[in-house]
Amino acid sequence: MITIDEIENLLEGIKDPLLHKTLLELNSIKDIKWNKEKNHISIKVAVAKLGSATQLELQENIVSKLKEKGIESIGLRFTELSDSLVKEILEEQKKDTVQAPIYIAIASGKGGVGKSTVSVNIAVSLSRLGKKVGILDADIYGFSVPDMMGISARPAVEKEKIIPVERFGVKVMSMGFFVEDNSPVIWRGPMLGKMLANFLGEVEWGELDYLILDLPPGTGDVALDVHSMLPTSKEIIVTTPHPTAAFVAARAGSMAIKTEHSIVGVIENMSYFESKATGEKEYVFGKGGGSKLAEDLNVPLLGQLPLAQPDWDEADFAPSVYQENHPLGLKYKELAGKIIDAVDSSKEN
């Protein structure tokens, strides 16, 4: 026959389903009366809220565990824990909860518009503004982010989780870490979707404010998988000023709208070339593509980025990352600020 000490130990180890603390930690057990002859126990328990679903769940849990120990008759009475204690515990839990990052997918209608360069520099610029940032190179066929950021290290594995490589304050994950000698990835759609799901679920991203996703160009399998896996993702469309590039980019925008993604805006890349000698701007790829695309999608034109090259430093080589004080680095920092404002504004609405 079970003893009163065993009953107390059993009850004290049961967790309150709302507060996720044991009845012992909460000092919830207010009274126990054990009638060994009648095999009857009477218990008074304090809960967070009387008459709630969590009280019912706790009641069922207590009864189930006592029945397993052979107790036939159980009488339960409930009272409430103090409001101040419940509030304090819930506030603690809120602080300890890691909030999901804001997902920002960078998309384009076609390749060659500098989408990955834009993705990398937006991620780095957000980090420079004090945000916790990750970047997922979701262009599984055309992965390029590690090379662009000058990364030669490989991810580690800890407790069955992949640890992303960090550079410039940005956590990086890419298919490029898992292939040898720049080999091509020859996979069909379902395998791509599975790898993307692994990158989202099996990587220890930690606490992030933003996770940037560098999507493959167009509206193929991976882009569609991202839209289905991350229904709350924000999206930025990259185009050049050329009318055809903007026309094709509109398809990516249309896909975002149809899958109920929120488009933050349009970035026009390679807008012009500015001569260092004369200061004159040459519109190598024409004018107006970004403005027209933004107008068609009814979203803002976030920025127009010129053709330029980072200042390469052999000691800290990253071929596509612009230095913070580089003219284009300053433009990216301004662009990152606009993105933060746009995302924060959409959250309030």
For residue range 257-296, what is the model confidence (pLDDT) as tens digits?
666 678 899 999 999 998 888 889 999 999 998 999 999 8
Which residues are 161's β-sheet partners?
158
**What is the per-residue pLDDT across 11-70, written as a single tens digit (0 to 9) for each?**
888 888 888 888 888 888 888 888 888 888 888 988 888 887 778 888 888 888 888 888
Question: Can you tell me the distance from the alpha carbon of 224 to that of 221, in angstroms, rounded to the nearest whole number?
Answer: 5
Q: Do the two domains 4-96 and 102-348 of this chain adopt the same fold? A: no
More reliable by pLDDT, 124 or 217? 124
Is residue 211 pLDDT above 70, yes or no?
yes
Which residues are 136's β-sheet partners?
173, 213
What average pLDDT does the segment 101-122 reach? Answer: 89
**What is the per-residue pLDDT across 218-265, written as a single tens digit (0 to 9) for each?**
655 555 666 566 667 888 999 999 888 887 877 777 776 666 678 899
Taking a C-beta distance cutoff of 8 angstroms, is the pair 139, 214 a contact?
yes
What average pLDDT does the segment 136-147 reach? Answer: 83
CATH topology of domain 4-96: GMP Synthetase; Chain A, domain 3 (3.30.300)
Domain extent listing, the chain: 4-96, 102-348
Look at the chain and count its residues.
Answer: 349
Taking a C-beta distance cutoff of 8 angstroms, is the pair 255, 297 a contact?
no
Q: Given 3.30.56.10, 3.90.226.10, 3.40.50.720, 3.40.50.300, which CATH number is that of 102-348?
A: 3.40.50.300
What average pLDDT does the segment 115-124 reach? Answer: 95
The pLDDT of residue 222: 57
Pairing of strands 210-214, 102-108: parallel
Question: Can you tell me the distance from the alpha carbon of 121 to that of 212, in angstroms, rounded to the nearest whole number?
Answer: 11
Taking a C-beta distance cutoff of 8 angstroms, is the pair 308, 140 a contact?
no
Q: How confident is the model at residue 97 (pLDDT cuts 50, 70, 90)?
A: low
Beta strands in the chain (DSSP E): 29-35, 40-47, 73-80, 102-108, 133-137, 156-158, 161-163, 165-167, 170-174, 210-214, 234-239, 262-268, 273-274, 281-282, 301-304
The pLDDT of residue 120: 96
Question: Can you tell me the distance from the alpha carbon of 97 to that of 119, in angstroms, rounded to the nearest whole number?
Answer: 28
The pLDDT of residue 186: 45
Question: Can you tell me the distance from the alpha carbon of 271 to that of 188, in angstroms, rounded to the nearest whole number?
Answer: 35
Most confidently modeled of 100-114, 118-132, 274-288?
A: 118-132
